[in-house]
Chains A and B, each alone.
Chain A
């Protein structure tokens, strides 16, 4: 037993010996929190921007080091591939670029249109970037988003974006890299990624429309200066395999969230009562959806069932009446119509305009009718999807009327 215990101790000691080659002080590492991918002026090149947080100040070797910069440092490198761009960037950054902390990946719309396959290949193969990172698409330049800072907040762009993903939202839904990989590798479903918009404070224009100022440029490496502005999540970018297909606006994104069973919660949404100027506000408390596919005589039909719960937090105009069952039923009907509007907008956009199965209906069909799917429908799915009727059933429940009942 003593010998066995000695060998266990030896395992631990020997295991640590091999690490000498990779010894690195924490302060000498550039802990990258976000990466951004853009196209480059030369068609064959690709641009990579990273933002890292300076890990520590203090003293080293008797010399004082700079204090940590809360707003991060951003560099851009241009190279034929993303892998070589990392190497290129390392030539200009005096710290070891360290990617495992990467939480945010931003892809510009243009890069998503032209280089998405290459980007996915990089994200798929680069072992330092972990699957829990969030992926976004921006209509402007990814580098500009990472160079944006909020002048009143001590946060880097990447930290601000990361915090946005944690706040509940209904107009865009965060997607992790792992989920994106799964979606792209599985048949019968297409990817949708949240949109990010950066606006500059100075003129209110979208940051993507004008390049951020460059502080230091050594040809293929640039150190990017921070500009004051605001970053917001909005809408979803739709894909068809690894090709950017188009944008979903906020209502369509909400519809996508309802159908794909995203966590639609904590949102106060407004319904304009038809024929009046009355606006009703509901506070959503939870929702879920189920999709069932049917195959009747070679014809595919789909049932989408959505359940939503909400509190009605508004002024009831007919204040003479108490909010009894009839009033609540009427409110539930209004809420149902509101959700239906989002869902139908989303379905129309995906089927008629983008022609891409963002809801994973094909994948659901595969799970529910795998023999038929493998019997040939999988190969025809892209052609079949736009014409498949989706029957949407929505059940809403208003569970209370807040602090008022009249």
Chain B
């Protein structure tokens, strides 16, 4: 049995930051293409929209401190419901991890290491992600705090150096798409960001008093939302929405096109490093989440074995898919049609279960 780990509020901010930056990092183009120039605003609104359900999760976690939402469901709704939900949770996490591995491996192969087989990249990322997940949520929190600083130090200079190449004509007018498309785009952004809620479901057990983390969790959403919005705005200003929305790895293209004077150009390495950090962190998050759910299903029987099996399944599935296009389609489909509805279903079951349990307790106390 692993020692119980708790995270601080600062670590919670960065854990939320990394849990938000997932498939949306690569599958954004479908939303940007529909939203047009205003997409960076819908990016921010989409992230902020998820604060209420996140706080709802914390509130539920506060009713059973030290428990994950999945454990709360087991307590309140029974083992069968819990096992079904845990199984779906594991599957969703593995699918998202498979998508992320394929995205990243393709990015590396297309732009940087043309001859390196994609499975090598996937293996390296999964191995390190497993190691990070194995070291526990507290270590992940500490690590992410370091990585966020490095990402901000690298990502924004990498893009911001192109400020001389900004074209305001690419940004203004901001809103010219039909309002219903903007609303649909905001919802789609929220769907892509909703994977953060999956992680918050398991993160609640590491919060000593979840309701006291309202501000920290909200800050994570705000930080990521505005970072995404700013990055999107810079990319649109540099490339134009038409070019930007037609590429899955357009942040790399943006940094490639940046030129400062006659000497500094081709700054893609500044962007590759943040992408790499996010990739490792995301795989760790997916594995940690699915591992927590698997341990619960098996009543903590041989927990280390679960992690290695999950890692093997993830890398096996990622190598089997081995297509960035399939991963893109899968990521868009799962986030658009499945992830947010599933999370809302889990929330509803947990809420109803807690209410019923509370009412029963009240009746028993009255008797």
Contact = CB atoms under 8 A, between A and B. Distances in A.
Interface residues of B, number: 44
A175 to B, nearest CB: 13
Contacts of A371: 176
A64 interface: no
Contacts of B208: none
Interface string A166-193: 1000000000101001100110000000
B257 A185 contact: no
A135 B243 CA distance: 17
Given A4-B142, A10-B131, A22 B114 contact: yes
A219 interface: no
Given A166-B262, A185-B246, A178 B239 contact: yes
Interface in A1-40: 1, 3-5, 7-8, 10-11, 14-15, 17-22
Contacts of A4: 139, 142-143, 146
A285 B147 CA distance: 48
A176 B162 CA distance: 14
A130 interface: yes
B8 interface: no
> Which DSSP category, helix, strand, loop or mixed, fits chain A's interface?
helix
Interface in A125-182: 127, 130-132, 166, 176, 178, 181-182
A17 to B, nearest CB: 6
Contacts of B305: none
Nearest to B240: A182
Interface size class for chain A? 20 to 34
Interface stretch (B121-129, B183-191, B294-302, B313-321): B121-129
Contacts of A10: 128, 131
A397 to B, nearest CB: 25
B111 interface: yes
Nearest to A363: B169
B173 interface: yes
Interface of B: 108, 110-117, 120-121, 124, 127-128, 131-132, 135, 139, 142-143, 146-147, 169-170, 172-173, 176, 238-240, 242-243, 246, 253, 256-259, 262, 265-266, 276-277, 280
A185 B243 contact: yes
Given A15-B124, A17-B124, A374-B176, A132 B259 contact: yes
A22 B115 contact: yes
A186 B243 CA distance: 9
A8 B257 contact: no
A7 B143 contact: yes
A11 B135 contact: no
A8 B124 contact: no
A100 interface: yes
A18 B242 contact: no
A176 to B, nearest CB: 8
27 contacts: A4-B139, A4-B143, A5-B146, A7-B131, A8-B143, A10-B128, A10-B131, A11-B128, A14-B128, A19-B113, A21-B113, A21-B117, A130-B265, A131-B253, A131-B257, A132-B257, A132-B265, A178-B238, A178-B257, A181-B243, A182-B239, A182-B240, A182-B243, A185-B242, A363-B169, A366-B176, A370-B173
